[in-house]
């Protein structure tokens, strides 16, 4: 399939946001010239909220913009009242630690934006910048979802254009940018690399991009023991969680 051509000029100053999960990556992002980082934990699971300690040390270590992912667990984006309370408390911690922005997202059972839940998180953020994350890419109707986000007055939308990579979703990303021009920043993310970023920007007309751009770094550990494994090898779908079971807890307690 031939790619759509674009006459859009490249922006003079492209804002680069690097997705990170460590102090080392934060320092590397700043040294490399990024203007902002999105700090997460558990990137292998799509990212969750980092610890307060991690947030504080990263904030003290870099002078560029710091946004923090607010996501209490892996998996889907349908959250319970208790999980919303966790997210609001995490946002409060971010405010207290001098974070510049938070990255949030929540959906209803039918795949629409959870407007009420998102509004509550926005109110908790107060003056911090608010980005709606790639929960958008699981939304049933991207155009209705965009309308809801515009009504909520979020500052930024992180999206791959509902495709595996932002380049594959470039047509939708461009349409989202055109529909939201001047009201919401469209931030493409997902498979963005130095090799394809110029094509992505040319095809979409965006002024910001989001990328992980990671490399493997060998541990300095001398003594190495592979077993026992510290994590489960079971692969979970996006729509299941491993949760403590009441009956098994009771059986365990009874057997003690």
| Residue bearing tokens 């493409």 | 188
Q: Can you give the CATH number for the domain in which 32 is found? A: 3.20.20.380
Q: Which pLDDT does position 241 carry in this prediction?
A: 73
**5 belongs to a structural domain:** no
**41 belongs to a structural domain:** yes
Query: Within the chain, which residues score under 50 in pLDDT?
Result: 1-10
CB 15 within 8 A of CB 38: no
**Phi, psi of 9, rounded to the nearest 5 degrees:** -75, 150
| Residue bearing tokens 């979970």 | 236
**32 belongs to a structural domain:** yes
**221 belongs to a structural domain:** no
Tokens of 35: 């203007």
**187 belongs to a structural domain:** yes
- Number of structural domains found in the chain: 1
pTM: 0.89
Q: Which pLDDT tens digit goes with each residue over 91-141?
A: 999 999 999 999 999 999 999 999 999 999 999 999 999 999 999 999 999
Q: Which pLDDT does position 24 carry in this prediction?
A: 93
| Residue bearing tokens 């080392």 | 24
In angstroms, rounded to a whole number, what is the distance separating the alpha carbons of residues 79 and 84?
A: 7
At 107 the three-state DSSP class reads strand
**224 belongs to a structural domain:** no
Tell me which residue range forms the domain holding 21. Answer: 15-215+234-254
Q: Which pLDDT does position 219 carry in this prediction?
A: 87
Q: Which pLDDT does position 246 carry in this prediction?
A: 74
């Amino acid at each position: 399939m031939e790619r759509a051509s674009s006459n859009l000029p490249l922006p003079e100053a492209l804002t680069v946001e690097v997705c990170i999960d460590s102090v080392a990556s934060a320092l590397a992002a700043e040294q490399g010239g990024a203007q902002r980082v999105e700090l997460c934990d558990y990137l292998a699971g799509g990212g969750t909220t980092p610890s307060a300690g991690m947030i504080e040390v990263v904030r003290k270590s870099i002078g560029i913009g710091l946004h923090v992912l607010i996501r209490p667990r892996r998996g889907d984006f349908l959250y319970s009242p208790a999980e919303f309370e966790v997210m609001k408390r995490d946002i409060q911690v971010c405010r207290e630690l001098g974070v510049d922005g938070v990255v949030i997202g929540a959906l209803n059972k039918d795949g629409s934006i959870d407007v009420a839940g998102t509004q509550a998180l926005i109110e908790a953020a107060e003056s911090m910048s608010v980005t709606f994350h790639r929960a958008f890419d699981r939304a049933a109707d991207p155009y209705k979802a965009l309308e809801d986000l515009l009504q909520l007055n979020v500052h930024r939308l992180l999206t791959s254009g509902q495709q595996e990579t932002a380049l594959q979703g470039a047509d939708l990303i461009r349409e989202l940018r055109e529909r939201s021009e001047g009201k919401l920043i469209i931030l493409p993310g997902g498979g963005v690399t130095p090799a394809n970023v110029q094509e992505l920007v040319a095809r979409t007309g965006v002024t910001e991009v989001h990328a992980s751009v990671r490399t493997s770094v060998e541990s300095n550990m001398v003594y190495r023991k592979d077993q026992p494994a510290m994590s489960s090898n079971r692969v979970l779908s996006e729509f299941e969680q491993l949760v403590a079971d009441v009956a098994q807890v009771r059986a365990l307690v009874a057997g003690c």
